[in-house]
Amino acid sequence: MKNLTLLAFLLLTTRFFSLAQLPVGFIAKYELPNTAVDNGGNNYNGTLTSTTGTTDRFGTVNAATNFTTAGTGTLPVALVTATQNNFTFGFWFKTTQVAGFDGQWYGGRALVDAEVCGETFDWGFALIDGGAVAFGIGLPDITIKSPLTNYNNNAWHFVTGTRNATGGIIILYIDGVQVATSAGTTTSALNAPTSIRLGSNPCAPAGVYVGALDDMVVYDRALSAAEVTSLYNHLNALTLPLQWLSFTGELQGNKVELIWEVDHVVNNDRFEIEHSLNGNQFSTRAVVPEGAGIVQNAGRHVYRYSDLNVAKGNHSYRIKQIDEDGKSTFSKTIQVNVGANLTALALKANPVNNELLIQNSELALLLRLQVLDVNGKVLIDHRVQSTDAVVRLDVRKLKPGYYLLKVNTKEGFSSLPWIKL
C-alpha cells in the first residue's frame, strides 16, 4: 500500500513570476535535433534523410536540423488527416538562401510543404521572392506572403500559419506578429497529400530549401492571435533545465519516506517514483503530479512520497522527472535497507506546543534525538540511552514552524516530521 502525502514545509517567500505559456492542445511537437520524432505523445513520427545537426537559437550544438540540397524530411499521412480541416503549424527557420520570384508558395523553396502535383486540396509554406515567407492553400490556389523580403538574413525566425476551415481563412504570422491573411480559400478538407515534407517539394525538384529548421509545433485548431504570440514567446524563451538539489530516503517505522527538492521548475508535468529490488530493473511505483510540490521560492519546490509497508531487504529508488513536452531527467539512485526488526516509532501528538512525546512501542534502545529545521540545520541534539515506552523531548524554546525529528537506534534511524504551534 502506498500513500501520497505532502511535506508541509514553510512557504519561505511570496515572490511570483510569469512566463509565456505554451497554448494547450498541441497534437505534435518536433524538437528536430536532427530527428523527426514526435515529442507530443501521439506518435506522429517522421524521418529525415541526408540532414545534419546544427546549433539552435540558444547556442545548443546539434539541437536543430540543417538541410542541404540533398536533405529532406517526411512526416506521416496521419498528421495530414489530423490537420485536414483546422490547423496551426509553427516552426523556426534560419537561412541565407535567396529564393526565386513566384506567385504561389509551391514555386518557392519549400519549408514545410504538403504540395500535391496538379490543382487539388493541398497546402504549404515556402521561402519566396528573395527572402519572403509564403503560405498557401490549393483548389483554388491562393498564397499569402510576408511584406518583408529579408527573412533570409541568417537569423532565426518563427513562422506560424493558421487555417480556419469554416471561414476559409488563413493567417500568416512571423515572429509572433500577423503579416498577411486571406478569407477566400477553400472550406473543403485538405486531404489530398500523402505526407508532409520538410525542406523539399516533390512537384518542384529545384525548390529545395537550404538552411535550418527547429522546434515545430502542430495544432488541429486555429490558434488566436494572442495564442500565437504566446507560442512565439514561449519558444523564444531560454528555459533553464530542472536542477536536482537533493533526494533522500529514510526508513520511518515500516515505511520509506522519499523527499526531493528541485530548482528551475518550469513546464514540469510530473514525477514518476521508480523502485527496484536489485538496483538494475526499475518499475514505476507511483506518479506525483507537479501540483503536489510545496513552493519554497520561485521555481524551487519540495516533494514527498511515503512508501508504506515495505518488506525487508534492499530497496533502490530513483525519480524520473517529465516535462510537458515529454523531455525527462533522472535523479540519483538511492538505497534504503529495511531490516527484519523495524523500529516502531511514532509521535503521540502532532502538532505540539512544548514537548514531543515519542512512542517507542517495541522498547527499542534510543541513542540520539535530533530536531532539524526545513533547511536541515540541527537545532536540538540530545543523546539518550532509553528503552522507555514513551520518551520526552523539550521543544518549548523553538519558534512555531515545521521541523523534523531524527531518532537514532542501533538499527539505524527514523525521521518524523512535526509542527510546533
pTM score: 0.58
Please report, for residues 88, 113, 114, 227, 395, the alpha-carbon distance to residue 222 in angstroms, rounded to integers and kept in the order given. Answer: 5, 18, 18, 9, 61
Q: Where are the beta strands (DSSP E) in 185-237?
A: 196-198, 211-219
Compute the mean pLDDT over every residue in the chain, rounded to the nearest whole number. 88
- Go through the domains of the chain in sequence order and give each one's CATH number: 2-16+240-338 (2.60.40.2060), 26-236 (2.60.120.200), 345-420 (2.60.40.1220)
pLDDT of 145: 98
Question: pLDDT tens digits for 234-275?
Answer: 898 765 567 888 999 888 877 899 999 988 777 788 999 999
pLDDT of 296: 66
Highest mean pLDDT among 146-155, 227-236, 299-308, 331-340: 146-155
Higher pLDDT, 32 or 417: 32
Return the C-alpha cell found at 3: 500513500
Mean pLDDT, residues 333-359: 81
pLDDT of 297: 64
pLDDT of 4: 40
Compute how many other C-beta atoms are within 10 angstroms of the C-beta atom of residue 85.
18
Question: pLDDT tens digits for 288-322?
Answer: 998 787 876 656 789 999 999 888 777 889 999 98
Dihedral of the alpha carbons of 408, 413, 416, 421, in degrees to the nearest 10: 20
Compute how many other C-beta atoms are within 10 angstroms of the C-beta atom of residue 411.
16
Length of the chain, please? 421
The least confident of 194-208, 292-306, 337-351, 357-371 is 337-351
Instruction: Tell me: pLDDT of 14 over 80.
Output: no
For residue 215, what pLDDT band results from cuts at 50, 70 and 90?
A: very high
pLDDT of 211: 98
